[in-house]
């Protein structure tokens, strides 16, 4: 806990921004401390706190500097691909009342007013995932007439992505699910598919007994229930906006597969189950309420309450693993318990094309120690990843053949 004096110093540092030395990468003390203004900032021997901020304070400082710093940023939304991430960070680091003030300043400086008040301008932009992320973040500031145009832009991007990704994804799912059906052990004699069973066990033919020893029994592949329950648990704070877009599309595709029972849960400090919206990803995306902050443990606890068949459940946590208001120890214990119950756990650090994400390496390492792999996965690779998981193959072995993956 910082002393009152150090807390005052920290706040002044964040208010006044980077010093010339920090801008030039030289560190050093703040301007007021260097000039001896003891009233503006406490003097004291606190060089360590003056020359370095905590990890979260540094992120806040960088976020504010992007808007209020001396450097200029590009003009329209289409030329500013970082805006979606910046908007998410504002919601993450500041309460709603402050976030709205900062967002209004951003609308003026980055000329985003056209984006939310002029449908014609919005329709002239090239639709892409980054633009969708921005529209989701700004949706609550839009008047109704612009919101309708925004929905059309989002729908076009969603439909284009589904057309691009759906066929290959369904192929991967069908292949893995067919194998799952084939290897499922029939529980009753009448459920045995004798033709497939004999064919698969011919290598176990015993000449002296003139018979086949059926080491593997194969059923008819008819099931009354879904083969797998899939739960997508998505962090909607900070830089995860593109991951939410892609996960929503993949979730919609999986929801259309009868052999899968798919749930989609999003969270910041609150948890929202959007499974009923999976039939329409556009409604799902506009149903998001980005408020910032993170409570991963609360979200995983909710997902745990949904699990009825641990061995047949896949839980995919899409998060940078930076725990906020939740307790890290509780989260680790909960994930460890789920892993031991044979739930198939996957930790996706990001589901996007944005390259190497920033993530909590310590948390990723702890998950790895009890068998939960962490990956930053591109949308193109996600079908392969799901095929591996649903086929009960080893994800770590699969990752060896994809050395470009960012692995936690």
Asked if 290 and 266 touch (Cβ cutoff 8 Å), the reply is no
Same domain flag for 270 and 369: yes
Cα distance between residue 357 and residue 120, in whole Å: 34
Give a yes or no: residue 312 inside a domain: yes
What 3-state DSSP class applies to 233? strand
Give a yes or no: residue 304 inside a domain: yes
Q: Which of 84, 106, 141 is the last residue of a domain?
A: 141
Q: What is the CATH classification number for the domain harbouring 358?
A: 3.40.50.410
Q: Which has the minimum average pLDDT: 134-143, 226-235, 241-250?
A: 134-143
- 82 — pLDDT class (breaks 50, 70, 90): low
Same domain flag for 126 and 258: no
Asked if 64 and 109 touch (Cβ cutoff 8 Å), the reply is no
- Mean pLDDT to the nearest integer, 328-339: 94
Please give the share of the chain, as a percent, with pLDDT higher than 70. Answer: 77
Same domain flag for 230 and 112: no
Same domain flag for 236 and 112: no
Segment 33-73, tens digit of pLDDT = 333 443 444 444 444 444 457 877 888 888 888 888 765 44
The pLDDT score that the predictor gives to residue 77 is 41
Tokens of 206: 């015993």
Give a yes or no: residue 159 inside a domain: no
Give a yes or no: residue 248 inside a domain: yes
Number of domains present in the structure of the chain: 2
Q: Which residue is listed with tokens 């993450």? A: 92
In the predicted model, is pLDDT for residue 182 greater than 60?
A: no
Q: Which of 112, 141, 170 is the last residue of a domain?
A: 141
Alpha helices in 111-234 (DSSP H): 113-117, 119-124, 129-138, 144-183, 194-200
Segment 88-128, tens digit of pLDDT = 677 778 877 787 788 778 777 776 777 788 888 788 778 88
Asked if 352 and 141 touch (Cβ cutoff 8 Å), the reply is no
Give a yes or no: residue 10 inside a domain: yes
Same domain flag for 242 and 391: yes
- 225 — pLDDT class (breaks 50, 70, 90): low
Give a yes or no: residue 111 inside a domain: yes
Q: Which of 107, 141, 175 is the last residue of a domain?
A: 141
Same domain flag for 122 and 231: no
The pLDDT score that the predictor gives to residue 76 is 42
- 213 — pLDDT class (breaks 50, 70, 90): confident
The pLDDT score that the predictor gives to residue 5 is 78
For residue 271, the enclosing domain spans 225-407
Cα distance between residue 339 and residue 345, in whole Å: 6
Same domain flag for 266 and 389: yes
Segment 291-314, tens digit of pLDDT = 667 899 999 999 999 999 999 999
343: phi > 0 → left, psi -120 to 50 → alpha, else beta; which? beta
Give a yes or no: residue 177 inside a domain: no
What 3-state DSSP class applies to 197? helix
Q: Name the range with the highest mean pLDDT among 112-116, 219-223, 239-243, 254-258.
A: 254-258
Give a yes or no: residue 240 inside a domain: yes
Same domain flag for 122 and 260: no
Angle CA 60–65–66, to nearest 5: 105
11: phi > 0 → left, psi -120 to 50 → alpha, else beta; which? alpha
Same domain flag for 260 and 137: no
In the predicted model, is pLDDT for residue 135 greater than 60?
A: yes
Tokens of 199: 């064919």
Please give the mean pLDDT across all residues of the chain: 79
């Amino acid at each position: 806990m910082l002393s009152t004096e150090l807390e005052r110093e920290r706040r002044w540092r964040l208010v006044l921004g980077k010093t010339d030395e920090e801008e030039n990468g030289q560190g050093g003390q703040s301007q007021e401390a260097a000039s001896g203004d003891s009233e503006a900032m406490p003097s004291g021997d606190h060089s360590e706190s003056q020359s370095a901020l905590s990890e979260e304070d540094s992120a806040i400082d960088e976020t504010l500097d992007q808007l209020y710093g001396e450097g200029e940023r590009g003009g329209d939304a289409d030329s500013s691909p970082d805006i979606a991430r910046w908007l998410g960070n504002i919601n993450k680091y500041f309460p709603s009342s402050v976030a709205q003030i900062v967002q209004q300043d951003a609308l003026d400086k980055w000329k985003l007013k056209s984006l939310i008040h002029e449908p014609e301008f919005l329709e002239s932009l090239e639709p892409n995932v980054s633009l969708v992320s921005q529209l989701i973040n700004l949706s609550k500031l839009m008047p109704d007439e612009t919101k309708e145009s925004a929905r059309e832009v989002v729908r076009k991007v969603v439909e284009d992505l589904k057309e691009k990704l759906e066929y290959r994804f369904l192929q991967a799912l069908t292949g893995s699910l067919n194998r799952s059906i084939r290897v499922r052990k029939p529980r009753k004699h009448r459920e045995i598919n004798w033709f497939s069973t004999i064919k698969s066990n011919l290598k176990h033919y015993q000449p002296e007994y003139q018979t086949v020893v059926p080491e593997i029994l194969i059923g008819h592949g008819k099931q009354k229930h879904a083969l797998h329950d899939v739960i997508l648990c998505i962090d909607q704070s900070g830089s995860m906006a593109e991951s939410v877009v892609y996960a929503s599309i993949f979730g919609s595709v999986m929801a259309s597969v009868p052999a899968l029972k798919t749930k989609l849960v999003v969270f910041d400090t609150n948890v929202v189950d959007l499974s009923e919206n999976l039939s329409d990803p556009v409604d799902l995306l506009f149903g998001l309420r980005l408020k910032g902050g993170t409570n991963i443990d609360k979200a995983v606890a909710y997902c745990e309450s949904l699990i009825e068949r641990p061995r047949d459940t896949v839980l995919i946590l899409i998060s940078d693993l930076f725990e906020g208001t939740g307790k890290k120890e509780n989260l680790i214990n909960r994930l460890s318990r789920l892993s031991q119950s044979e739930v198939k756990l996957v930790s996706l650090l990001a589901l996007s094309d944005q390259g190497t994400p920033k993530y909590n390496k310590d948390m990723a390492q702890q998950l790895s120690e009890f068998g939960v792999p962490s990956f930053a996965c591109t949308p193109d690779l996600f079908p392969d990843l799901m095929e591996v998981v649903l086929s009960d193959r080893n994800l770590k072995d699969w990752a060896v053949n994809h050395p470009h993956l960012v692995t936690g």
